[in-house]
Structure 1
Amino acid sequence: MGKPSIPAHPEGATMKAVCFAKFGKDASALSVETIPKPSLETPDEVLIKVHAAALNPIDKYRVEGAMAMILPEAFDTSVLGYDVAGVIEQVGEEAGKSYNVGDPVYVRLNKPMKYGAVAEYAVSCTHEIAKKPAKLSFSEAASIPLAGVTALQALRRGGVTEGSKVFITGGAGGVGSLAIQIAKKMLNASHVCTTASPGVGTEICETAGADRVIDYRSQKFEEDLAGEDFDMVFDTTDEAGKMGSLLKKGGKIMSVAGTPSIQAVEQWIGNVPWFMRIFLFLGKNRAAEKAAAMNEGTWEYVLLNPNGKDLTEMATYLENGDIVPVIDTEAASIEDFKTAVDKLWSGRSKGKCVIKVVA
């Protein structure tokens, strides 16, 4: 039996969205389609007119089918994307106590999604959204939620506080460029070291506030930084297995790349089916655990918990310029989505790839 179609809007309203009906390896799997407009179903939901949506590596994995075991697609047609910035067009009865029609907001859409980010409209619960920082454009705001909250939660779980010494891989990437700024400006780390390519990548990291940048093309961080005693190392590039020599005694390695742990998936989706447990066990990052144990430390995989509280806290720092979005590519319209998709899929983007939905 096939999957159900996206349910019709009660009044028959439709919208444009970037969709995929089959898994594929590149942008050819995606197309702009006309699908039913989402509607409010619970009192705490809001309908957002999307002005901009951002892409993340998870979108690539989802289109390729790599996420299907953990998060199977609900419908026979799926909408791309998780990150949204836009204006509230309709509020549920409960949502109306906190938000009004016309409020600019930004959000990382959470499960269950109705139906994705790269569309003319999106629905979200109020506990996931936050008021958009007025200083930011909609494209800048859309670039923040998934990457920013992921970085904030990973750094906090890693114990980063005032005076901490932190190492972050992939400092010019979407998560890395925000992680540097969050570590320095929000959590008051005393020293942040990262990896990047020479040129633009290094410039992004230095502008973000990195105290030291390792050129990953000509240097091996596991050798150059051995014995540096970092309190926490943040793996955004699936290199946790190399990080043991960097860690101080009792320090922490936090990963957001590679195969997630069973514990992380349990926190994300609840009960993990037996077949998925087998898959996750076989893919377990034993090298990361071994690396952490070198200095009596710990390794943990972090899956983000989308919430408006963290976005609201970050908004203060975005508003005063302590945290600055880094955008690599901005597609001019929903029809031009391949400009952003192709850059993200290439693996060469610096910062975030964004699609403007409202010009």
Structure 2
Amino acid sequence: MKAFVQDRYGGPEVLALRTVDDPVPGPGEVLVRVRASSLNAADWHLMRGDPYVVRALDRTTFGWRAPKRPIRGRDLAGVVAALGPGVTDLAVGDEVVGEVLAEGAFAELVAAPADVLARKPADLPFEQAAALPLAGTTALTGLREARLAAGDRLLVNGASGGVGTFAVQLAAALGAEVTAVCSARNADQARALGAVHVVDYARSDFAASGQRYDVVLDLVGNRSLADLRRVLTADGALLLSGGGTSQGGSLFGPMRLFAVAGVRARFVRPQRLLAFRAEPSAAMVADLLAMVAAGTLRPVIDRTYPLADLPEAMRYLEEDHAAAKVVITV
């Protein structure tokens, strides 16, 4: 099969399209012929080995000079091509969508655990389906952990990215009053997705606005913990899931903020400081698909690239601050 592989850390130039052996599905896995994938901050973090500290902290994923697994890509939508031993809930020919934590989706074929895959509705294009799993699951997990409810005030820092566009829609559907922090060029999109208020970060500092929010979702990691807590209500929830912005390499990146929040969390109650991580889940993806079918959620796609142009797609994601999702077709 054709797949993009990397043998060392670096920018998009380290991604090389090669012919490699087809993966073989193991027990509980299926072989999926990939029709579409999408890019996430996790992909460039692994591509660059960034922040550097994770190379020492997560030795199952990061090597010293290259990732432990050479093929990037976690989101996928495709067609089941073969079944591994013990798989009974899926059949060859099923159209599926999900997130593969072990990666490998920037390829023609990927072996994926059957229990992270949901059946894709026939009327949902593969490109839109592939935009859902990681970003949608992250947004849904965070808002559920914060116990966001109708009437709550939510601030989303990074509202125009993949997770942000889903978070704005999910919160608006719940009846929350959403404030989106994004660039001026993405303001209309944020309003169209359900934001009541939009803050242009180039013109206004949300931390100095005097406003207070029941929930703050930080997806950027570019503000101090003090700034973020300043805009929380006395019993509000701060959600930290910032992928950060690519600057070509960093020592700690957003992990510094997560660490500080972890230390302070026990001393600032009833405020809740939550550095959360969403796990791949077929049930979560099924929930998101149901919302798409009901018309309360839609994947927002900025650009679509063929697999052969993956390095250019990654460059666009890193350098041009993609609005919403960047999708790869296979």
TM category (shorter chain) comes to: 0.7 to 0.9
Contact 2:100 / 2:116 at 8 angstroms: preserved in 1? yes
Residue of structure 2 equivalent to 1:268: none
Superposition CA RMSD, Å: 2.6
Partner of 2:74: 82
**Is the 8 Å Cα contact of residues 83 and 143 (structure 1) preserved in structure 2?**
yes
**TM-score, normalising length from structure 1?**
0.80
Change (3 A) 1:279 1:198: closer
Partner of 1:212: 197
In structure 2, how many angstroms separate the alpha carbons of the residues matched to 1:204 and 1:292? 37
Q: Which amino acid aligns with 2:208?
A: E
Give 1:293-304 correspondences, 5 Å limit.
296-304=270-278
Overall identity of the aligned pairs, in %: 27
Equivalent of 1:338 in 276, 286, 311: 311
1:100 and 2:91 correspond: yes
Structure-1 separation of matches of 2:253 and 2:159: 30
Q: Residue 136 of structure 2 contacts residue 163 of structure 2 at CA under 8 Å; is this kept in 1?
A: yes
- Give secondary structure in 2 for the equivalent of 1:78: coil
Say whether 1:223 aligns with 2:208: yes
Deviation at 1:292, TM superposition (A): 9.9
TM-score (norm 2): 0.87
Distance 1:346 1:286 in 2: 28
The 3-state SS of whatever aligns with 1:250 is: strand
Note if contact 2:46-2:62 (Cα within 8 Å) is conserved in structure 1. no
* Residues 1:68 and 2:42 aligned together: no
- Aligned residue identity for 2:13: S
The C-alpha deviation readout for 1:316-355, integer Å capped at 9, x for no partner, is 1112221111111111x22122231111121510011111
Query: Which residue does 1:147 correspond to in 2?
Result: 135
Mapping of residues 180-259 of structure 1, within 5 Å: 180-185=168-173, 188-199=174-185, 201-224=186-209, 226-228=210-212, 230-238=213-221, 239=223, 241=225, 242-257=227-242
- In the other structure, the counterpart of 2:30 is 46
SS at match of 1:18: strand
Judged with a 3 Å threshold, the aligned counterparts in structure 2 of structure 1 residues 174 and 282 are, in CA distance, closer, same or farther, namely closer
Q: Does the CA contact (< 8 Å) of 1:86 and 1:138 recur in 2?
A: yes
Q: Does 1:323 align with 2:297?
A: yes
Could you list the per-position Cα deviations for residues 256-276 of structure 1 after superposition, in whole angstroms to 9, with x for gaps in the alignment?
1169xxxxxxxxxxxxxxxxx
Name 2:325's counterpart in structure 1. Answer: 352
Corresponding residue for 1:131?
Answer: 119
Q: Distance in 2 between matches of 1:282 and 1:139?
A: 35
Residue 173 (structure 1) aligned with residue 157 (structure 2): no
Question: What residue in structure 2 maps to residue 21 of structure 1?
Answer: 7
Q: Which amino acid aligns with 2:199?
A: I
Question: How far, CA to CA, are the matches of 1:311 and 1:254 in structure 2?
Answer: 21
For residues 214 and 254 of structure 1, do their structure 2 counterparts lie closer, same or farther at Cα, with a shift above 3 Å needed?
A: same
- Whole-angstrom distance in 2 between the partners of 1:197 and 1:93: 49
The answer as to whether partners of 2:224 and 2:257 remain within 8 angstroms in 1 is no
Q: Name segments (4+ residues, structure 1) moved above 3 Å.
A: 73-77, 278-285, 287-296
1:231 positional shift: 1.6
> Which consecutive unaligned segments of at least 5 residues does structure 1 have?
1-14, 260-277
Distance of aligned partners of 1:282 and 1:354 in 2 relative to their CA distance in 1, 3 Å threshold: closer
SS in 2 for 1:155: helix
1:139: Cα distance to partner?
A: 1.2
